[in-house]
Structure 1
């Protein structure tokens, strides 16, 4: 799976979960400041990423994922599929 494909899938998840316009999602979008995601929203988002990409994201790693770009890079290096 290419980096663009991963980004597009993550952007689709974000658009649906956080009810924002898909076109506004860029790699530098910050989960906590731009999406105003609380901890429950973020945990649910991480779980959805794990399911979608067949990846395990530790709590420690999840805490370090701040932007969409960081999530894409993490999935690219940790996905099992």
Structure 2
């Protein structure tokens, strides 16, 4: 799966699951503020990632994720690890 496909898939489930306007999802936008995430929403986000991409997310992985771009990069790297495993 290439990065463009990953980004398209992520944006699709963010719009659907978190009811956010697709126009607000830009690489430099703040993930937490744009999606208005609270602690329960983070759990929902983890579940959606795991079910869509088939890898386990560790809570500490989210410490360095602040923008959509860093989120895309994280998922792409984990998908790449899974493919190469």
TM over 0.5: yes
TM-score by length of 1: 0.84
The residue number in structure 1 matching 2:38 is 38
TM-score by length of 2: 0.81
Across the aligned residues of Structure 1 and Structure 2, the Cα RMSD in angstroms comes to: 1.5
Distance in 2 separating the partners of 1:77 and 1:64: 14
Could you list the runs of 5+ residues in structure 2 that have no partner in the other structure?
none
Residues matched between the structures, number: 81
Could you list the runs of 5+ residues in structure 1 that have no partner in the other structure?
none
Q: Which structure is higher in helix share?
A: 2
